[in-house]
Every structure is written in C-alpha cells, then in structure tokens.
Amino acid sequence: MAGLIPTTIPNLGTGHEMALPDRLRDDVRELEGDIIRLRHQLHRRPEIGLHLPETQQAVLGALSDLPLEISTGTSCTSVTAVLRGTATAAGSGPAPAVLLRGDMDALPVREPAAEFSSTIDGTMHACGHDLHVAMLAGAARLLSAHRDALCGDVVFMFQPGEEGYDGAGRMLAEGVLEAAGPRVQRAYGMHVIAGNLARGQFTTRPGTMMASSDGLAVTVTGTGGHGSAPHRARDPISVAAEMITSLQTMVTRQFDIFDPVVVTVGSFHAGTKRNIIPEQASFDATVRTFSPAARERIETASVRLCQAIAAAHGLEADVRFTTEYPVTANDPVQAEFAAGVVADVFGADRFTPMRTPDAGAEDFSRVLEEVPGCYLFLGACPQDDFEAAADNHSPLAQFDDSVLADGCLLHANLAIRALQDIS
C-alpha cells in the first residue's frame, strides 16, 4: 500500500538560509500532494470502531521510511510513533515530550457516489477522521525532516474508535502518554468541521470546549393487563412517560442555566397493541453536561427521579447511568498558546475565538484530563456558504483537501514551539 512518497524527505529541511517557519511552510507545500493522496486512499476504505486493519496498514506504510519508533496497540489497531528531537542538549536528563493526536475511525453512514467516495457500502468517513490521519502522517514527515528544531520528543497518537468506542481510553491504558519514556507534558489535537465554520478558520476556547456524553437507560416493569381495566394492571407506559417529562423539568428546576445540561430521550419502546397494557416500557437518553460538577449531580438526580416516580406509582424501575466521555476541557494557558501559534503561523484573521462550547463529545477529553493541552476545530467546508453546509456525520458532509497542509503545519508548529516552551 503506497504511503507518502519516500523520496520527499531528503528534499525537505534543506533551505537553511530561510527562517524555520518559512522552511516549514515551504516544505508542507512539497508534501501537500502526498497528504491529499493519503486522505483519498483512506476515504475510499473507511473502517468503523476499534479494529481498523486497512487504516492501520496505510498509516504504517506512510510512516515506514521515517526515523520513528513505532508500536501498535494490542487491544485496538492503534499506531503510536515517537520522533526523537535532536535539538536537545546532551546529558541534560531525559528530553521532554509532547503529543499530537489524530483519530482514524469512520461511521455507519452511506455515502453518495462522488469522486474518491467510499467503496465500502454503508461506511463513510463522515466525521473527517481521514483528514486527521493524513494531517498527522504529514506532520510526522515534516517534523522528521526538522528534528534539529525539536527540543525534545514528539509522540504521534493514531487512534481508532473515537466514535463511541473510547479508543483514547484504550491507548491511555496501553501507555501512549509514556511512549517516549517520560510522560508527555503537552497534548494537542484538532478536528475538521464540515459546516458552520469558514474554510481555513481555526477556533478553540479556554476551559470547557465540548460536553461530556453519558447515557441514561431506564426499564419500567409493571403488570400487564387489558387496556380497558388499568386499575387491575400496573401500566409502565404512563409511568415512563411521566419520567421523560419530569427529566426536562429536572433540567430547568435543578440545574443552573449558566452551567447547562441536555437530556434527550432518543428511543422509547413499549407495547404491541392499543388495548394491551404491556409488562415493560423502556427508554434511553443521552445526557450532556459542561462541567464535572454538573455531570456528577445529574447522575444522582436523574437516577433518583426515575426511581422515585416508579415507586410513587408502585412499579419497579431498573435505572442505569453509564458514563461515556468526560468534558473536553482545554488548559487555559494552552488554549492561549495554540491561538497564538495559529495567529503567528497563518495570521490573526485565521483564528476565530469560540464563544460557547460545543455540545458534541470527544474522547481526546481523556488525554486532556491527564495532560495540559488544547483541542482545536479547523473549518473545512468546501463551499463559501458554510452555514448552509451539511454538518459532520451527515452523508452530505464534505471536507476540503485545501485545509490539509495547514492542519499539518499547525501540528508541526505546535510541537516545535511547545517543546521550546518547556525546555
């Protein structure tokens, strides 16, 4: 499987008469065609979940000629690559390390036929993770050509299973933060956005950037009976319906509107026929919060509410709150640092401060719980009217190749400058 063209590396990093930022900018243009080709290759062969064998092979192929220490996951098809910087002073103790992350998995979405569209029916890179892989592989190549600018080591985290499989949690358990030896001291990632952000714009914010995502699953058990005689049965449907309504009342009456929560019941199942009271009714909700405090409180409050409503009507309820991804929170200093790097590399007009957090969730949150760092969004909408464009996860979501080189360049600059900061 063809990776990035191996012969490009000797041509990079040679313009020593130029300042480093200009050399990086020149070199990424050299790589751009290869980065785009890799993205198209990945886009045609999307894979879902924690096991992405073809994607893993494509990444290994793209990195094969680079001076990296590569390991692969045992509980998932992750790839971890370590690049040793050579600007570190000898004998000054272990070099510091920073982490750059790209997620790799696709979604169960059927993509309409188009240029380089998916050849796997019902599977699509509808969240743009193919761009993330290509940008990170490009950054590995670019930084490999500029090891002499790295005052420490870079860990490249190619992660499967972001879309609800907690691939980040698996990679943390397998030691990705210690891949270079000493634990990484900074971590950065970025996500391309198909709609609602202009092409080429970077955005992020200090503190909470994305929501936590948890689940509330409830099964109400009553006693079945004839629809004409509810007093001789125990109707689980009316009780479950009361829970669903009361959950919204709970949101407005028990939670601060300036620390919002979202509870959405996305599935409800009960019954077979209108004149039969069933034994059971069940529903499933997604729960989003924007602070660890609200997250902790809503678990207790929602479980208590559902159990108490069931008890009030003399029925049983099995109520399960399952935690998924925590709040994605940027370190305030690192958010400012990343915004500064964007402004410095691309110009201040390429950075849009993010006014409010996004209610989506992201398992890079697990890395940011452990290491100060920053997650950014990068607008990748091909059309100028980005507000009318389809969002990520839509079968109509489109991501423009023109942002790949800039994403790659930002990765490289974040790593170089973060290591300078630490040293």
Q: In what order do the strands lie in the sheet with 186-193?
A: 68-72, 79-84, 153-159, 97-103, 186-193, 373-379, 202-204, 351-353
For Zn ion, which stretch binds (CB under 5 A), given 46-54, 124-132, 218-226, 291-299?
Answer: 124-132
Minimum CB separation from Zn ion for residue 65, in Å?
Answer: 29
Minimum CB separation from Zn ion for residue 194, in Å?
Answer: 10
For Zn ion, which stretch binds (CB under 5 A), given 125-133, 144-152, 215-223, 329-337?
Answer: 125-133
Q: What is the torsional sign of CA 332, 335, 341, 342?
A: negative
Minimum CB separation from Zn ion for residue 163, in Å?
Answer: 5
Q: φ, ψ for residue 303 (rounded to 5)? A: -65, -45
Does 127 participate in binding Zn ion (rule CB under 5 A)?
yes
For Zn ion, which stretch binds (CB under 5 A), given 123-131, 164-172, 297-305, 306-314?
Answer: 123-131
> Which CB, 127 or 263, lies closer to Zn ion?
127
Sort 214 into a burial class: Cβ within 10 Å, 0-12 / 13-18 / 19+: buried
> Which CB, 127 or 176, lies closer to Zn ion?
127
Minimum CB separation from Zn ion for residue 165, in Å?
Answer: 12
> Which CB, 105 or 153, lies closer to Zn ion?
105
Cα 315 to Cα 79: distance, rounded to the nearest angstrom: 50
> Which CB, 126 or 143, lies closer to Zn ion?
126
Cα 272 to Cα 416: distance, rounded to the nearest angstrom: 62
Minimum CB separation from Zn ion for residue 129, in Å?
Answer: 6
> Which CB, 127 or 412, lies closer to Zn ion?
127
Which amino acid, 339? A
Site string for Zn ion, 244-263 (x = CB under 5 A): --------------------
Does 192 participate in binding Zn ion (rule CB under 5 A)?
no
For Zn ion, which stretch binds (CB under 5 A), given 122-130, 146-154, 164-172, 295-303?
Answer: 122-130
Minimum CB separation from Zn ion for residue 358, in Å?
Answer: 11
Q: How many CB atoms lie within 10 A of CB 264?
A: 13
**Rg from Cα positions in the chain:** 24
> Which CB, 94 or 108, lies closer to Zn ion?
108
Residue nearest to Zn ion (CB): 127
- CA atoms in the 13 A half-sphere facing the CB of 78: 30
> Which CB, 124 or 179, lies closer to Zn ion?
124
Q: In the numeric block, which tokens belong to residue 273?
A: 């026929």
For Zn ion, which stretch binds (CB under 5 A), given 41-49, 73-81, 82-90, 127-135?
Answer: 127-135
Cα 284 to Cα 268: distance, rounded to the nearest angstrom: 7
Sort 101 into a burial class: Cβ within 10 Å, 0-12 / 13-18 / 19+: buried
> Which CB, 156 or 337, lies closer to Zn ion?
156
191: nearest Cα among 261, 117, 105: 105
The footprint of Zn ion on this chain (CB under 5 A) covers a number of residues equal to: 1
Minimum CB separation from Zn ion for residue 224, in Å?
Answer: 40
Residues 48-77 that bind Zn ion (CB under 5 A): none
Residue 366 vs residues 154, 155, 330, 363, 369: alpha-carbon distances, Å: 19, 16, 11, 6, 5
Does 109 participate in binding Zn ion (rule CB under 5 A)?
no
* DSSP structure class, residue 391: P
> Which CB, 150 or 157, lies closer to Zn ion?
157
Site residues, Zn ion (CB under 5 A): 127
